[in-house]
Amino acid sequence: MPYVKSHIRRDGARVRAHYRKRRRARGGAARRGRSGGGAGSAAPLLWGVPALVLVVVAVDFVRRHPYWSALLVAVLGLAVAALLFARARQRARQRAEQARQWAEQARRDRLIAVTDAMSGPEFERWFARLLEASGFRQVTVTGGSGDRGADVVAVAPDGRRVVVQCKRQGVRNRVGSAAIQRFAGTCREVHGGQLCVIVTNSFFTAGDGVRLAQQLDIALVDRTALETWALTHTPPPGLFVAR
């Protein structure tokens, strides 16, 4: 864009002249771009020259010392083979250790006594593993805050949706009718359970609790039944039979 600039001549007269600004930014950027592009294009050349020199040196060494070259290749091959063998052995040991841990876990899972030292979430995961070992599918632990009574959900071998509430507590603390009634109110209406089960490593209160479960169609699995189930991986008779 033109602009006006004035100056005074030697004879005292003021003179006004029009000037136009030069666009330096675009040219500077272009020059910088050209300089940057030159540096970028020179990078492959800087790497290529040393690589070419190494290739020439290696070829010359092989031509002058064929026996030493063969020995060097053999040594490198043996080193690579030893490294691969060591890694394969390490992976095999890891797999063996994992299999041993799984076997130990399976052995412990068959003992009802291990549940006495478990927390509530541990007992839920323990029972979920028992369901999987017994042929149940899509076993999911859902317990936690806001679970509304559903600790484990699964699909039974007969295809029904199973909703389980796990009660891990001391042997002397029995599960009463109040817990059964609360679970009955959410199992089918909230969780869509077709088979509602309460599992405990303890026992249920005799009388009212058992009668209420029968009236509300809630299956009860106490410590005795759970112990047999864990040992045999077979659910209690008549519990998961299609109706």
Cα 179 off chain centre by: 34
Q: Which of 106, 138, 165 represents a domain boundary (last residue)?
A: 106
Shared-domain flag, residues 84 and 152:
no
Residue 235 contacts residue 134 (beta carbons within 8 Å):
yes
Domain count, the chain: 2
Confirm whether 33 is domain-assigned.
Answer: no
What local confidence, expressed as pLDDT, does residue 104 receive?
Answer: 65
What is the SS3 assignment for 8-22? Answer: ECCCCCEEEEEEECC
Please give the Cα distance from 150 to 143 (Å, whole number). 6
What local confidence, expressed as pLDDT, does residue 205 receive?
Answer: 87
Per-residue tokens: 5: 């600039």
Shared-domain flag, residues 98 and 80:
yes
What local confidence, expressed as pLDDT, does residue 243 receive?
Answer: 35
What local confidence, expressed as pLDDT, does residue 201 receive?
Answer: 93
What local confidence, expressed as pLDDT, does residue 30 receive?
Answer: 47
pLDDT in tens, 193-202: 999 999 999 9
What local confidence, expressed as pLDDT, does residue 70 receive?
Answer: 83
Confirm whether 123 is domain-assigned.
Answer: yes
What local confidence, expressed as pLDDT, does residue 85 receive?
Answer: 83
Shared-domain flag, residues 130 and 83:
no
Give the domain range for residue 200.
Answer: 113-232
What local confidence, expressed as pLDDT, does residue 242 receive?
Answer: 39
What local confidence, expressed as pLDDT, does residue 121 receive?
Answer: 93
- CA-CA distances (angstroms) from residue 227 to 14, 202, 210? 114, 11, 19
Q: Which of 49, 74, 106 represents a domain boundary (last residue)?
A: 106
Whether pTM > 0.85 for this model: the answer is no
Non-local (6+) Cβ contacts of 200 within 8 A are: 166, 167, 168, 169, 175, 221, 222, 223, 226
Query: What is residue 199's DSSP assignment?
Result: E
Shared-domain flag, residues 228 and 119:
yes
Low-confidence ranges of the chain (pLDDT < 70): 1-46, 99-110, 145-146, 238-243
| Cα four-point dihedral sign 144, 146, 150, 154 | negative
Shared-domain flag, residues 177 and 75:
no
